[in-house]
Structure formats: C-alpha cells, structure tokens
Amino acid sequence: MHFKKMLQTKPEASAFLMLMAMTFVFSLLSPTFLTLGNFQIVLQPIPEIALVAIGVTILMISGEFDLSVGSVFALSPMVMVLLMAAGFPLPVSMIGGLVVAALVGLANAFITIRLGIPSFIATLGMLFMARSMTVVISDGFPPPFPRDLDLWWIVGKVDLLRVSVFWLLGIGILLGIWLRKFDFGSWIFATGGSQESARNMGINVNLVKTTTFMLCSMLAGFAGMIQVFRIKAIVPSMGTGYELTAIAATVIGGAALAGGVGSVIGAVIGALLLAFIENIIILTRVDANWFRFAVGAIIVIAVTINKMTRDVAARAKYKEVEDD
Amino acid sequence: MTKPHLSVRGLHKWYGSVHALRGLDLDIPQGQVIGLIGDNGAGKSTFIKILSGVHKQTEGQIFFEGKEAHIARPRDAMNLGIETIYQYTAMVPEMSIARNVFIGREKRKWGVRGFGMLDHAAMAEEAMAAIADVGLHLRSADAPVKDLSGGQRQGVAIARAMHFRSRMLILDEPTNHLSVKETNKVLEYVRQMREQGITVIFISHNLHHVHEVSDRIVAFSRGNKVADLLSEETTVPHMIDLIT
C-alpha cells in the first residue's frame, strides 16, 4: 500500500526506479560504467541540461510550455560575452545576460497570456527570434572568451566533480522547497492543475505564469553561461535542440504535459537518465546514431509506466467512511 | 421586509456586442435559500460571475450588507464573505483535500502572502475539522481531490466556505451528475447552511431540486428578472413556464 501511495504521490518515482534499473543493467553491459572516472565524464554536462529541465518542468507544472530555452541558452551567454568584450566586469555582464533571458521569458508570457496564443506557438516563434538575435548581435563572429577569468567558483574542479554540480544542487533544493513548501509553489500547481479553479479561488494565474516563464528563461540563460565557462568558448549555435532534450527530461521525470504534476527532482533524474543512455552507447561502441532512438524509446516507456502506475494507484481508491 | 443581504440596481453586462444582463434590479433577503432559475443564456451565470468577481459589471451597483460593494476580483468577493462554488472548477483534482481547502488562503508558518512557508500540519488539521463540521467523514486530508466522488467534492467545497465564515454562498449546479443519495446529501448541506443563517443562492437546471430546497424562486430570462416569488406560490410546471 505504502509503495502504491508513493507511486501515486511522487511523480518522479517511476523515473527513479528506471534510473536504478538502468544503472544495474548498464553496469553489466560495461565494466567501465560504474567507475568514478566515467561518472566524472557523465556528470560534466549534467548541471547545464538539468537546470534547463528544472525550468521547463516548473513551467510545465504551471500549465505552459517553452520551446525557446535552447535559443536562450545561447543568447543569454552571448550577451554576457559581448558585455565582457565591451569592458564590463564579469558580474555585471552576467546580470546583463540574465536580464535579457528574463525579458525573453516576459515576452513569452506576454504573447501567451495577453495575446492568447498557445505557448507552444509563442515560444516556437521565440526559438527562431532568440537564435537569430544571437547570431546577429555577435555579427557571426563571437568575440574570443577571455582566458584570464577566475571561474573556479562556478566550474572549478573539486576532486571528481565540478563546482557547477553544487550550483545545480543548491538551485534544485531551493526551487524544490519553494515548489513544495511555499504558498507560491502551491499556486503553481493549482494554476496548472486547473486554471479556472485557481482563478476562482483568487489566485492571480497570470502572475504565476509570468513568474514561471521568466524563471524558465533565466535558468536556461544561466545554464548556457555555465557551459560557456566550462568549455571557455561560445558559438551562436550552442544549445540547439536542447529544448527537446529538456522536455524529454521533464516528461521522463514524471511531469504531466497538461500541467499540475511534476517535480524538480524528476527533472534532474530525467536529465541523468538521458546522460546515462548516451554514455552507455559510447561505452559499448554502439553506433551513436542509436542515441536518438534510445531517447525516443525511453520517453514512451517512461510515460507509459507513469500512466500505468497512476492507474494502479487510482484503483486502490480512497474511500469515504460514512458514519450515518 | 428586513434589509436585504444583497441588492443590485441597474446591473448591465455587455460582452462585446452581446447584452447579457439588461438592467437587473434584485434584492436577496438575509438567511434564505434563493433558487435562481433560467434557461441557458438567461444571464444567471453572468450574474454570479459578477458577484464572485470573475467579471465586472459594465454598469450598475451592488450593495452587500447595506454598503456599496466594489467587486473587481474573486478575492474581493471572498473578503466580503461571498463564496461561489462552481460546478466543475471549485477544486484542483490533482491537489490534496487540505491544499484545496486552503487554495489562495494558505496558512503560513512565516512570511507574507506570495512568499511564505506553508503550515501543512495546521492546514491538514483544520481541513479535517471543517469537513467533519459539515458531517462528512474522510480518512485523510492528504488524499487528492480526484479520488473523491462528486458529492464528497461538494462537501469539501462547502466545508471550505464554512471554514472561512462565508455569509453568502453561491452554488452553481451543485447536484449535476450526482447520484440520488449524494443529491440528497447536498440538499441537506443547503438546509444546514440556512439553519446557520447563511444566505444561499442555488442555481440549477433541475427545477425539482430548486423547488424542494428554496425559500424564494427568482427566474431570469433574456438578461433580466422575470419573476421573484415565494417557493410556496409556485410549482415546478409554473417555473417551467416562467423560464421558457
């Protein structure tokens, strides 16, 4: 009973079980898989994609969608690098990049809420616009990334890990607490779960959605900055396709496309799952073109398991004890 | 006649070029059950949406408990003590009973509205107490609302209104899609509320339910009031004549 209840109340439960199963199977497939050295490689890009997935997840919980995160992932750090090239110090440049990301989120919110365009279309438009702006403002030739910056605080190495993993942990824990334990978090679930009900109960659903749109864009921008800091170079095409990876991680992590269901930890587990699959394909020297197939299969499997477990849990239905 | 609990004067509502409410004047007495009837498009929904703050009237005044009320948002209505329970959109199905009882009015351990730490324990406890007060017994406030039957949901929504000491309750089609047993239970809730001096506006297409539970019947047609009678003065066939 307790197990069923957990499956029903924790959207990430089945993703977690899949992660465990995969870790087990993959360790049998390749002796290298469960080694520290391999985990170091697997974990390198995780903070970047997981931060994007967290933003997409929280937005999806509020009932909306963002396809522009991959483009913001490039635009926001591009603004930062250009500001640095213009002589601004790093913190100011980072804030500048994040403000641009926030403005993109605000524009997404405006188009979706005020103009009444579905966010799928609104952010599809933004995907192209933000990517185009990235290329235009860099004039096709982005400035070289400054080599003399002290970036230990964000991408430095601590033993086998990069500091960015701790940024992911910190941001993930804070946002997880915010979602589950704070009143605004409750409003996010209510807005996505039933927008009309939330509105009828006095929740400002437009404010909720504007907040989640902006948060989603800013997390994508920040994640892009981490990647630029890590590889110490910027190309206008970075992050292309990340929107689909992030949505895949979100859905694998148990978030419902219709809204009202999802969790931060689910997004992180989803990102880890995708990275594990990519890693095992490399380790076992399977043709890398199978990666997309595996990702596609895992999305379908994960969502099917989610649906099945929820149906099972729903059958163990809660019953009223009438006293009359 | 005692002072009305709620009065509206010259209430108009336009949706673009549609004149949905055409100069409505209505007095709703204190502590009675008012059955609001009318065919689709008669203006019932528009009227209750104005009272609950979902839409704003284009023209006209609302007086609540003797004072003019300006209801611009749902929170304004709730702060006045007017609570509306919509047929399908009273609850968030995926969320727990406790969270649903306190949606938008959460109990906080600390912080301000919009940035405060939830007091889950207090919300669960008070939700259970509020639900028990209306005579509904549920095992746990942590169960999601989607697991409840339609009648139980109505019970939880009514418990919520009682918990926040609403003085006027608007019920939108509360008996739709309910079994006979559950319908009786909901009608029983309505009687309980009248005993406690709460004014109830009961909206339903089921004229038998309306006639059974109401003190007065108000009929709407084409955006205005066409009848305002004591329940004893009318019969279900007469009510059908009024609204068609």
pLDDT one-digit tens code per residue, B22-58 = 999 999 999 999 999 999 989 999 999 999 999 999 9
In percent, the amount of chain A with pLDDT more than 90 equals 72
Question: Given a cut of 70, is residue A316 above it in pLDDT?
Answer: no
Q: Which of B165, B198, B218 is the last residue of a domain?
A: B165
- Residue range A188-217: average pLDDT? 97
Using the 8-state DSSP alphabet, how is residue B148 labeled?
S
B186: its two tokens: 């909901």
Res A314: pLDDT: 64
Please tell me the distance from the alpha carbon of residue B244 to that of residue A253, in angstroms, as a whole number: 53
User: Which residues of chain B have a CB within 8 Å of the CB of A186?
Assistant: 95, 99, 103, 106, 118
Is there a contact between A200 and B54 if contact means CB atoms under 8 Å apart? yes
Q: Which of B165, B187, B214 is the last residue of a domain?
A: B165
The complex's ipTM works out to: 0.94
- Residue range A246-250: average pLDDT? 95
- Residue range A208-228: average pLDDT? 98
B184 lies within 8 A of chain A by CB: no
Res A302: pLDDT: 85
Same domain, B223 and B176: yes
Using the 8-state DSSP alphabet, how is residue B2 labeled?
P
Res A9: pLDDT: 67
**Quick one: pLDDT band at residue A322, thresholds 50, 70, 90?**
very low
Is B224 domain-assigned?
A: yes
Q: How many CB pairs under 8 A join A and B?
A: 105
**Quick one: pLDDT band at residue A144, thresholds 50, 70, 90?**
confident
For A225, list phi and psi in degrees, rounded to 5: -60, -45
Same domain, B146 and B77: no
Q: What sign does the CA torsion over A178, A180, A186, A187 have?
A: positive
Is there a contact between A202 and B75 if contact means CB atoms under 8 Å apart? yes
Is there a contact between B103 and A319 if contact means CB atoms under 8 Å apart? no
User: Which residues of chain A have a CB within 8 Å of the CB of B137?
Assistant: 320-323
Q: Beta B168-172 vs B18-29: how paired, if at all?
A: unpaired
A261 lies within 8 A of chain B by CB: yes
Question: Given a cut of 80, is residue B91 above it in pLDDT?
Answer: yes
Whether the CB-CB separation of A303 and A251 falls below 8 Å is answered with yes
Same domain, B134 and B241: no
Is there a contact between B118 and A186 if contact means CB atoms under 8 Å apart? yes
Question: Given a cut of 80, is residue A190 above it in pLDDT?
Answer: yes
Res B131: pLDDT: 95
Higher pLDDT, B51 or A322: B51
pLDDT one-digit tens code per residue, A6-34 = 666 688 888 898 899 999 999 999 999 99
In percent, the amount of chain A with pLDDT more than 70 equals 93
Please tell me the distance from the alpha carbon of residue A323 to that of residue B164, in angstroms, as a whole number: 25
Same domain, B77 and B171: yes
Same domain, B47 and B157: no
**Single-letter residue type at B157:** A
CA atoms within 13 A on the CB side of A279: 27
A-chain residue closest to B152, CA distance: A320
- Residue range B154-177: average pLDDT? 93
Question: Given a cut of 80, is residue A278 above it in pLDDT?
Answer: yes
Is B113 domain-assigned?
A: yes
Of the candidates A226, A100, A95, the residue with the CA atom closest to the CA atom of residue A163: A226
Question: Given a cut of 90, is residue A88 above it in pLDDT?
Answer: yes
Same domain, B189 and B200: yes
B116 lies within 8 A of chain A by CB: yes
Same domain, B179 and B243: yes
A240 lies within 8 A of chain B by CB: no
Domain interval for residue B103: 94-165
Is B158 domain-assigned?
A: yes
A2 lies within 8 A of chain B by CB: no
Is B88 domain-assigned?
A: no
Is B205 domain-assigned?
A: yes
Same domain, B175 and B141: no
Same domain, B173 and B67: yes
Is there a contact between A193 and B114 if contact means CB atoms under 8 Å apart? no
Res A147: pLDDT: 82
Q: Which residues contact A128 (CB under 8 A, 6 or more apart)?
A: A71
Same domain, B189 and B213: yes
Res A324: pLDDT: 35
Q: Which residues contact B211 (CB under 8 A, 6 or more apart)?
A: B35, B217, B231, B234, B235, B236, B239
Is B67 domain-assigned?
A: yes
**Single-letter residue type at B86:** Y
Question: Given a cut of 60, is residue A317 above it in pLDDT?
Answer: no
Is B225 domain-assigned?
A: yes
Same domain, B177 and B71: yes
**Quick one: pLDDT band at residue A205, thresholds 50, 70, 90?**
very high
Chain-centroid distance, C-alpha A142 = 26
**Other CB atoms closer than 10 Å to residue A38's CB: what's the count?**
17
* β-pair partners for B217: B35, B229
A-chain residue closest to B145, CA distance: A318
- Residue range A286-295: average pLDDT? 87
A210, A320, A324, best to mutate vs chain B, most B CBs in 10 Å: A320
Q: Residue with structure tokens 């163990």?
A: A316
Domain count along chain B: 2
pLDDT one-digit tens code per residue, B98-138 = 999 999 999 999 999 999 999 999 999 999 999 999 889 89
Q: Residue with structure tokens 């790093």?
A: A90
Same domain, B196 and B238: yes
Is there a contact between B117 and A184 if contact means CB atoms under 8 Å apart? no
User: Which residues of chain A have a CB within 8 Å of the CB of B181?
Assistant: none
B138 lies within 8 A of chain A by CB: yes
Q: Which of B122, B146, B165 is the last residue of a domain?
A: B165
Res A3: pLDDT: 66
A310-319, B146-155, B211-220: which has the minimum mean pLDDT?
A310-319
Please tell me the distance from the alpha carbon of residue B201 to that of residue B192, in angstroms, as a whole number: 14
How distant, in Å, are the alpha carbons of A11, A93, A225, B23 from that of A78? 35, 10, 9, 59
Higher pLDDT, A306 or A324: A306
Res A46: pLDDT: 95
For B25, list phi and psi in degrees, rounded to 5: -115, 130
Is there a contact between B103 and A261 if contact means CB atoms under 8 Å apart? no
B133: its two tokens: 């007060």
For A274, list phi and psi in degrees, rounded to 5: -65, -40
Q: Where are the alpha helices (DSSP H) in chain B?
A: 44-51, 74-80, 97-101, 120-133, 150-163, 180-195, 207-213, 236-243
In whole numbers, what is the pLDDT of chain B averaged over residues?
Answer: 94
**Which residue of A183, A320, A322 is in closest CB contact with B114?**
A183
- Residue range B63-67: average pLDDT? 95
Res A12: pLDDT: 87
Q: Which helix (H) or strand (E) holds B231?
A: none
Is B131 domain-assigned?
A: yes
Of the candidates A19, A42, A15, the residue with the CA atom closest to the CA atom of residue A283: A42
Question: Given a cut of 80, is residue B18 above it in pLDDT?
Answer: yes
